[in-house]
């Protein structure tokens, strides 16, 4: 039989108000309270009402691992609800956090708690699907939640590992002696902190990405997101397509042959992009894989092409102020896939990307691909000289240089 700390607390409170309880009545109340507590636990772990929104565990874990912080909610000893934002760290089977050894968070140990993180993917206005009614307005989002009894982590090693992981995440540059719970320098500090966590076996993820809508409606959402072009909309399109694989891709995301064009990708594609880019003449010996990764993550637009096997066969990126000036860089197609139109298709997508499409001037430098860019409206920029390179510029129709 499970009796939650809240249940036990409720009983103690009741008992203090009703001294005339017999042992039988107490036993009966324990049963009643434990059933209620059990129901509460089932409520958070039972299957999701809309199963189509349930995320698989790997995806849920990825979202949790990348959460910049989590919210912790519980009910304090005095019955008051408590909500705090924390740096949550995944170590072994735990989502853990640390705090001072006294205070509100400490009082939650051995009590029921829930931690969550959510990411807003896109706000969808009602008029995209209904010209009159407000009802269809909705939000696309992804969220993760871990629930259960908050436990203090035991053992200096596990506690030390949790604190070290915290440092690696939020101070990745190092600059301190690694934390080991048993090491004399840290032993006291590690023992003095409160390090607590929730077990990850109750991890639940939800991605509300229009899986309950018809393919035609999802196509409409994708086209409207592209047209609207707010900063996160390219990512929303990529997530919608991944969550709804049966939806036919819109023409602007179809490359030559069976290649697919992606308007947004996450850092997990960087190893493949590095393989295409590190030996190009403009990067070789100048920029490390890490530098290229930083450059791509910092670029407002990174588009790629993938083949039928899902391999990355082309990549291009751009960055801009979205109005006056944009710059194109790191355009490359895998050697065995060249000459089929992938480079031109990628560039067409990049120039139509919300980050680049409204720029009065878009520039790039090349040594040997002038003809590719000329076909897309670029002309040599005579007033900018870079030795060994042709600077090219593409000017918006109604703008004069
Ligand atoms: C340049 C590059 C991206 C073109 O990709 P691609 O998929 O082969 O290009 P496409 O098939 O869309 O071809 C586009 C056109 O550009 C032309 N082109 C111009 N320069 C080219 C070049 N250096 N390599 C290949 N094609 C080139 C092609 O001949 C083709 O014209 P066509 O259709 O009239 O035959 C690819 O060749 C590549 O990755 N090269 C090495 C990296 C590089 O030089 N990047 C450009 C840096 S500015």
The C-alpha atoms of residue 69 and residue 60 are separated, in whole angstroms, by: 15
- Which ligand 1 atom sits closest to the C-alpha of 345? 12
Largest CA distance in the chain: 96
Is a pLDDT exceeding 70 seen at residue 17?
Answer: no
HEC string of 235-254 equals HHHHHHHHHCCCCCCCHHHE
pLDDT score of 141: 97
| The residue to which tokens 């959402």 are assigned | 221
Confidence band (pLDDT; 50, 70, 90) for 28?
Answer: very low
- Which ligand 1 atom sits closest to the C-alpha of 340? 11
392 lines ligand 1 (CB under 6 A): no
For residue 338, report the distance from its CA to the centre of ligand 1, in Å.
7
Task: Please state the separation of Cα 12 from the chain's center in Å.
Answer: 43
Contact of 332 with 315, CB cutoff 8 Å? yes
pLDDT score of 184: 92
Is a pLDDT exceeding 80 seen at residue 6?
Answer: no
Nearest CA-CA partner of 198 in 340, 325, 44, 349: 44
Provide the strand spans (E) within 52-137. 70-75, 81-86, 89-91, 94-99, 112-124
Report the residue among 338, 349, 365, 370 best suited for mutation to probe ligand 1: largest number of ligand atoms under 8 A from its CB: 338
- Identify the residue whose C-alpha is closest to ligand 1 atom 8: 338
For residue 343, report the distance from its CA to the centre of ligand 1, in Å.
6
Confidence band (pLDDT; 50, 70, 90) for 127?
Answer: very high
- Which ligand 1 atom sits closest to the C-alpha of 372? 16
Helices (H), 46-72: 57-65
Convert the pLDDT of each residue in 195-232 to its tens digit: 999 999 999 999 999 999 999 999 999 999 999 999 89
197 lines ligand 1 (CB under 6 A): no
- Which ligand 1 atom sits closest to the C-alpha of 366? 48
For residue 329, report the distance from its CA to the centre of ligand 1, in Å.
14
- Which ligand 1 atom sits closest to the C-alpha of 347? 12
As a whole number, the mean pLDDT across the chain is: 89
343 lines ligand 1 (CB under 6 A): yes
pLDDT score of 52: 87
Instruction: With H, G, I as helix, E, B as strand and everything else as coil, classify residue 357.
Output: coil
> Mean pLDDT across the stretch 359-373?
95
């Amino acid at each position: 039989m499970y009796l939650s700390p809240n249940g036990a607390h409720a009983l103690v409170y009741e008992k203090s108000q009703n001294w005339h309880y017999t042992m039988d009545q107490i036993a009966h109340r324990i049963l009643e309270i434990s059933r209620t507590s059990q129901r509460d636990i089932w409520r958070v772990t039972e299957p999701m009402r809309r199963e189509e929104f349930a995320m698989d565990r790997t995806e849920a874990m990825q979202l949790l691992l990348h959460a910049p912080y989590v919210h912790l909610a519980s009910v304090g000893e005095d019955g008051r609800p408590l909500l705090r934002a924390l740096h949550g760290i995944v170590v072994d089977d735990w989502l853990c956090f640390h705090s001072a050894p006294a205070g509100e968070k400490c009082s939650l140990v051995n009590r029921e708690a829930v931690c969550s993180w959510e990411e807003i993917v896109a706000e969808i206005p009602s008029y995209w699907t209904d010209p009159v009614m407000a009802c269809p307005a909705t939000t696309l989002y992804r969220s993760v939640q871990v629930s259960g009894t908050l436990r203090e982590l035991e053992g200096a090693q596990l506690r030390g590992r949790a604190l070290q992981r915290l440092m690696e995440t939020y101070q990745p540059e190092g600059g301190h002696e690694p934390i080991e719970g048993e090491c004399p320098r840290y032993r006291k500090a590690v023992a003095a902190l409160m390090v607590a966590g929730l077990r990850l076996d109750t991890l639940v993820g939800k991605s509300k990405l229009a899986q309950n809508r018809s393919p035609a409606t999802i196509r409409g959402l994708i086209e409207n997101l592209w047209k609207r072009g707010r900063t996160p909309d390219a990512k929303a399109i990529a997530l919608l397509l991944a969550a709804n694989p049966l939806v036919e891709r819109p023409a602007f995301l179809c490359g030559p042959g069976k290649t697919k064009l992606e308007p947004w990708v996450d850092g997990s594609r960087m190893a493949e992009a590095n393989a295409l880019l590190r030996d190009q003449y403009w990067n070789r010996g100048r920029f490390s894989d890490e530098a290229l990764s930083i450059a791509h993550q910092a670029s407002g637009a990174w588009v790629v092409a993938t083949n039928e096997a899902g391999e990355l066969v082309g990549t291009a990126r751009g960055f801009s102020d979205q109005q006056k000036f944009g710059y194109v860089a790191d355009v490359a197609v895998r050697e065995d896939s060249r000459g089929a139109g992938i480079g031109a298709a990628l560039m067409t997508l990049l120039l139509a990307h919300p980050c680049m499409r409204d720029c009065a001037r878009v520039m790039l430098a090349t040594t040997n691909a002038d003809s590719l860019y000329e076909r897309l409206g670029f002309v040599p920029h005579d007033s900018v000289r870079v030795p060994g390179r042709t600077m090219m510029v593409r000017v918006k129709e109604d703008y004069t240089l």
